[in-house]
Structure 1
């Protein structure tokens, strides 16, 4: 299994790798979710966000450099990928090096959003190979920025079905060959792919867990990329944004016949609820 890191912080932290190798498979799903427009195929990192439509988006930074994404899922809690924080522990000296920015669109604008500090990090002891998820408790709650509710099983049945459109966002590379990361958040829409497509054709990267979901186009072209790890995959449920996935792993960015792989948030509903309940002030 390959994971990608933000190019500007190579020696600091793991970041996103996204896309699972797939073989060419002809099906109604593929036909309905192919990109025929040549221009669309050029948009690997999506389009810059023009407003504050993703206020819950989090930038995790080390020494002022963005390396992973995350999301504010409760006033005092950030959800991200476990591999983003595996080099941190709960020693205060270590946590001090983790910078958290919430509610910001342009990272170069220091006046945007809120700055937060980590109080503790929680990762399931069984996460590796079973789900790439972590919670960061903040020292102080953020009450003036909306949070993004995690999807549960009922929500996924109703709105997170195969073929449903989802949105992924972050400050990751806009192209696989990009040497740097953008300051302005980008967003891209991708359909949720059938789980068995990934499970059947991911031999070179290891087995796909039932705690993971895939999203993207069979033609490639639109996807998360380096630096997007930990960020949210969002679906609409009854008119409200909810988080269905966490950018996790894969190979390359926007390549044909390869989907992005995300931790399936609903699979961790019990862990999320109990961790927040048992560790809240």
Structure 2
């Protein structure tokens, strides 16, 4: 994910943000949801690699925060690498973490909560700050976006990219930054990804 137009996040504002790593190299972000569980995207999982999770710091430095080995990873059984449907995975840590001012579980909504179109939400991560950037930011980035209905988001993406196929499906979250002129910026990405911030960014839900 790109966090284009983002700002450095202060310490302790997003204490559930973690960095999923291979050989101590940042691969993807994730959220701490319980003392021993991380929620991340299934497309971040690359076979039988040895993963670690770093948490407790907004810095991407290899020695920042706390590193915990990963014991197991469970991807959604219906994850579709082509459409990115059900793009969700659970990461089991080798041991539980102790909560502190820097490490807290994510604030989960009520059971029947629905994120409606027009809701302002926040996106965080260490994604590239420009479409052609090579180096990741050292500090965690944050930016706000407005949620769009998946039908409207899909129409914007199809127009911008010149695609006819459905890119955004029901069950995905699509965010848009109204201060940016283009609804979508096309940049190279992994298979199945077509658009990243700024503009509509699709993020699958379980």
TM-score by length of 2: 0.80
Give the 3 Å change call, closer, same or farther, for CA 166–186 of structure 1 in structure 2: same
- Asked whether the 8 Å contact 1:120–1:138 carries over to 2, the reply is yes
- Asked whether the 8 Å contact 1:48–1:187 carries over to 2, the reply is yes
Map 1:52-71; keep pairs closer than 5 Å: 52-71=12-31
- Residue 162 (structure 2) pairs with residue 212 (structure 1): no
Map 1:97-136; keep pairs closer than 5 Å: 97-108=50-61, 110=63, 112-128=64-80, 129=83, 130-136=85-91
- Asked whether the 8 Å contact 1:249–1:260 carries over to 2, the reply is no
User: Structure 2: which 5+ residue stretches go unaligned?
Assistant: none
- Residue 204 (structure 2) pairs with residue 260 (structure 1): no
Give the 3 Å change call, closer, same or farther, for CA 152–200 of structure 1 in structure 2: farther
For 2:123 and 2:177, locate their aligned partners in 1 and report how far apart those are by CA, in whole Å. 13
Aligned position for 1:3? none
For 2:21 and 2:181, locate their aligned partners in 1 and report how far apart those are by CA, in whole Å. 27
- Asked whether the 8 Å contact 2:9–2:140 carries over to 1, the reply is yes
Aligned position for 1:146? 104
- Asked whether the 8 Å contact 1:45–1:172 carries over to 2, the reply is no
For 2:164 and 2:201, locate their aligned partners in 1 and report how far apart those are by CA, in whole Å. 12
SS in 1 for 2:152: helix
- Asked whether the 8 Å contact 1:49–1:184 carries over to 2, the reply is yes
- Residue 136 (structure 2) pairs with residue 178 (structure 1): no
SS in 2 for 1:154: coil
Deviation at 1:219, TM superposition (A): 5.5
Deviation at 1:163, TM superposition (A): 0.8
Deviation at 1:45, TM superposition (A): 3.9
- The two structures, once aligned, show a CA RMSD in angstroms of 2.8
Deviation at 1:106, TM superposition (A): 1.0
SS in 1 for 2:202: strand
Q: Which has the higher helix share?
A: 1
Map 1:1-281; keep pairs closer than 5 Å: 16=1, 44-85=4-45, 87-89=46-48, 94=49, 97-108=50-61, 110=63, 112-128=64-80, 129=83, 130-144=85-99, 145-151=103-109, 154-156=112-114, 160-203=115-158, 204=163, 206-207=165-166, 208-218=168-178, 220=180, 249-254=193-198, 258-264=199-205, 268=206
Number of matched pairs: 190
Give the 3 Å change call, closer, same or farther, for CA 151–88 of structure 1 in structure 2: farther
